Amino acid sequence: MLICSAVWAATVAVVTLIPPRFESSTILLVDTAAMKATAARYTSVEDVVSAFGLPKVANQAAVLRTVPAIAEAAATKLTADLPADQLALLPTTEVAGLVEWLRESAILITAEAGKDDADLIHITAKAGGPELASAVSTSYAESYMSMMRAAVARSREQALALQRGRVAEVGDELTALDDQLRTFIQNNGSISIEEDANRAATRISDLQTALDDARIAFSTHSATLETLESELDGLDLASLAERVGSSVESEITATQEQLTTAELSLEQYYSKYPELRADPSGSPQVMKLVNDVKAMRSRLDGLSAQYVREVMATGGVDLGSDSDGRAYVLNLRQQIAQQRVAKRASEARVAAINSRLAAFERSRSQFSSQSVSLTQIQRGRDLANTRLKTEIDRLGQLQVDEPTEFIKRIQSALAPDEQAFPNVKLFVLAGLFLGLLLGGGAAFGWSAIDSSVYGEEDLAQFGVPVFGNLPDLTRVVKKLVGRTSTVDVGGRVVSSRLVVMHAPQAAESAIIRKYAIGLAARTPRGGTILFTSADMGAGKTTLTANVGAALSLAGYRTLVIDADIFRPGQSETLGLTPRSSLDVETGAFGQGGGVEQFGGILQLLFGLKLRARIPSDGEAQAAQAAVHLARFYGQHFDYVLVDAPPTAASSIAAGIGRYAHTRVLVVGAGKTHTDLVRMSLAELQSMGSAATEIAINRMDMSEPTAVRSAYQQAQAYYGGAQME
């Protein structure tokens, strides 16, 4: 009662001493569609609101908070317009001091998305008087709107000046081209552009494009071939057959050279007689060349296919019974052979096109150099004329444009009738409630002694080593996935608390991985690790699943057996399906069932669960089945993890423990009492399956302990979830 009264009295005193504070708000409507349209019209400079962020309402709210010029304009307006009685309520009348006051404490900016591209910005002022709060909010809003209008006007003038410069620049270029054309005609006369010159220039342009494509193809095939050959050279195989050289390669080379020669001859005929390109039947020589080219291309395709087949027939490797690896290497060799053929074909095509270009360049030299020069001048003049028209049109649009008012005030700041802080009634009631709470808590603390386990010192009396101090996963799960209880990992729906799988960079995952590797070091290969707990809610099932996932990610073939026939938690945690259920009475899986293998990066993780038709009658059978499975699968897996029910509720853990190599008792930090720990250890000891170690789970990492320091180091190193 004394504590309650003291807290209540202190609250009343604080409320009395705190000066009142009033709040008043101005609401601005931001037409974001109009803002974006204005920015689009002035793309010739930086943004229309370059000094004020991008045209988004959230950016405008940030502008109001951070740009000093807005606060300076508002402070200047306040000192000039406020009456003397309101000036007296200001913390200072100096502009610099008022700017700091406005930005640090007097102004609160909030933004909210509205409808149909119309968003709202609330400018709330906090001051010692109702009229002052209204004046501060109004001045701040007017300063912001004025600066936005000035920014838009400046941007418009800059855009106009830049556009005028562009029009003048293109006009000067067009004038220079006109002068060059007149001079050319005076010196050379009027020259018509021969049809052959146009045709040659067009053909050269096409060939240059084709040459670029061929060079790109050659570079692509060369890079791909180099990558594939590096991958093949890096294979660690006992024996790697050397590819036997094929005579087909020389035939491919010879055929390619013949094809290049024939194509060059054909192009020379086409250059001399252009009409034969559409219909070569008018010349027997040309017709024969056309048929020869088709035949050689067909033969080249056949030789390429034969080359690939021969390479595959002589370049395989012998991997014994590893058919998957053999298929992989054979496929890799096939890709290498194909890329070599493609590379040679691309190289030959580059050479052929270069030869054609040289031929056309020689033919083009026959045309008048004056004709080519005139063509270039005329084309440049046409392009400049088009650009000038475009720039003049844009200048005209800017000159007639009037900036749109995209920020409007829809609610003016009014003088409030009541103070916003402190709320006397609320403070008095809160003080009374806090006093009762503290008084009751103190009374309860003195009347009871908490015997829960919080750290290793609480377990020292039992003489069992503590190898795991594992964090509570609630905070990281809430931070990453919110209130979602499951996540999809590689097509499998698992518990969101399985952080090792879906949040490997979290500090919590790093600590669990470190514990899992240590646990593996303390257990022989093929050994069984039993997980049990003294009571429910210690996080045993989640810890077992996370340790299994961590071991599989570390490269160990790991099997998780859910031996809890009463509450099979791994069905939800690991997402085990009914097909992995084994009947403890028959010792068999259902039809089509068996050990369930995970996929993706967890392909080394497997799981199964035990089930009993009448769980209360099947504890002994469940223990025997788990022991039999652990012994059998221990020959095929690096580690077998058994998730057994709590010792306080079932004897299954004690029945399995005597055959397990490592027996872990999971204790919930701040939950499991030392009396329960003592009882669990005694029960396991009486059955010949004494616990080999204890893991303290769900520890609160906000307490200043050595464990928390280690957790913070893991956060800094792995970039895990941040502490609050």
Kindly report the backbone phi and psi dihedral angles of residue 487, in degrees, each rounded to the nearest multiple of 5, phi listed first.
-135, 160
CA–CA distance, 388 with 391 (Å, rounded to integer): 5
Burial class (CB in 10 A: 0-12, 13-18, 19+), 366: exposed
What count of other Cβ atoms lies within 10 Å of the Cβ of residue 682? 13
Over 50: is that where the pLDDT of 315 sits? no
Longest dimension (CA), the chain: 121
Helix segments in 488-589, DSSP class H: 499-502, 507-521, 540-553, 570-573
Task: Determine contact, residues 701/714, Cβ cutoff 8 Å.
Answer: no
Tokens of 517: 């590797």
Q: Is the pTM here over 0.85, yes or no?
A: no
Which of the listed ranges 150-159, 228-237, 303-312, 506-515 does the model predict with the highest average pLDDT? 506-515
How would residue 548 be classed by pLDDT, with cut points 50, 70 and 90? very high
Q: 527-533 and 639-643: which strand pairing?
A: parallel
CA distance 416 to 133: 8
Calpha distance 70→460 (Å, rounded) = 64
Q: Is the pLDDT of residue 463 over 90?
A: yes
Strands, E assignment, 323-412: 407-411
Three-state DSSP class for residue 129: coil
What pLDDT does 339 receive?
Answer: 85
- Cβ pair 197, 367 in contact under 8 A: yes
Tell me if 516 sits within 8 A of 551, measured CB to CB: yes
**Rounded distance, CA 232 to CA 225, Å?**
10
Number of H helices, E strands in the chain: 22, 16
| 248: its two tokens | 């087909």
Closest CA to 352 of 259, 218, 273: 259
Whole-number Å distance between alpha carbons of 469 and 515: 8
pLDDT band, residue 45 (cuts 50/70/90): very low
**What is the helix (H) or strand (E) element at residue 605, kind and residue range?**
strand 605-611
Is cis: bond before 422, omega within 30 of 0?
yes
Q: How far apart are CA 319 and CA 322, in angstroms?
A: 6
Among the residue ranges 264-273, 324-333, 354-363, 662-671, the one predicted with the least confidence is 324-333
Query: Residue 317: is its pLDDT beyond 50?
Result: no
Percent of the chain topping pLDDT 90? 22
Q: What average pLDDT does this structure show over 334-356?
A: 85
- Rounded to an integer, what distance in angstroms lies between the CA atom of residue 367 and that of residue 701? 86
Cα–Cα distances (Å) from 312 to 49, 253, 332, 418, in that order, read 64, 20, 10, 89
User: Is residue 120 left, alpha or beta, with left meaning phi > 0 and alpha meaning psi from -120 to 50?
Assistant: beta
Provide Rg for the chain, Cα atoms.
Answer: 42
Q: What is the arithmetic mean of pLDDT over 16-40?
A: 76
- Of 150-159, 238-247, 463-472, 693-702, the least confident: 238-247
For 476, phi then psi, to 5°, come to -70, -35
Average pLDDT of the residues in 103-113:
77
- For residues 404 and 156, give the distance between their C-alpha atoms in angstroms, rounded to a whole number: 12
Q: 520 with 547: CB under 8 angstroms? A: no
What was the pLDDT predicted at 322?
46
DSSP-based three-state secondary structure for 109:
strand
Tokens (6 digits) for 397: 């649009």
CA angle 618, 623, 627 (to 5 degrees): 145
Rounded to whole angstroms, the Cα distance separating 477 from 496 reads: 7
Q: Rounded to an integer, what distance in angstroms lies between the CA atom of residue 65 and that of residue 68?
A: 8
Our CA angle for 522, 467, 480, nearest 5°, is: 110
pLDDT at 582: 92
Mean pLDDT of 453-480: 90
Q: Tokens for 220?
A: 């692509």
- Judged by average pLDDT, the poorest of 274-278, 345-349, 354-358, 403-407 is 403-407
- Which position has the higher pLDDT, 280 or 677? 677
* Predicted pLDDT of residue 54: 43
| pLDDT recorded at residue 675 | 92
Q: Please write down the long-range contacts of 486-494, taking CB distance under 8 Å and 24 or more positions apart.
A: 486/572, 489/600, 489/602, 490/598, 490/599, 490/600, 490/601, 490/602, 491/599, 491/600, 492/575, 492/598, 492/599, 493/575, 494/545, 494/573, 494/574, 494/575
Instruction: Give the other-Cβ count within 10 Å of 397's Cβ.
Output: 11
Specify whether the CB–CB gap between 506 and 529 falls below 8 A. no
Amino acid 115: pLDDT: 66
| Structure confidence at residue 196 (pLDDT) | 57
Over residues 694-700, the mean pLDDT reads 91
Spatial distance between the Cα atoms of 65 and 86, rounded to a whole number of angstroms: 24
pLDDT of 637 higher than 90: yes
**Distance separating alpha carbons of residues 711 and 707, to the nearest angstrom:** 6
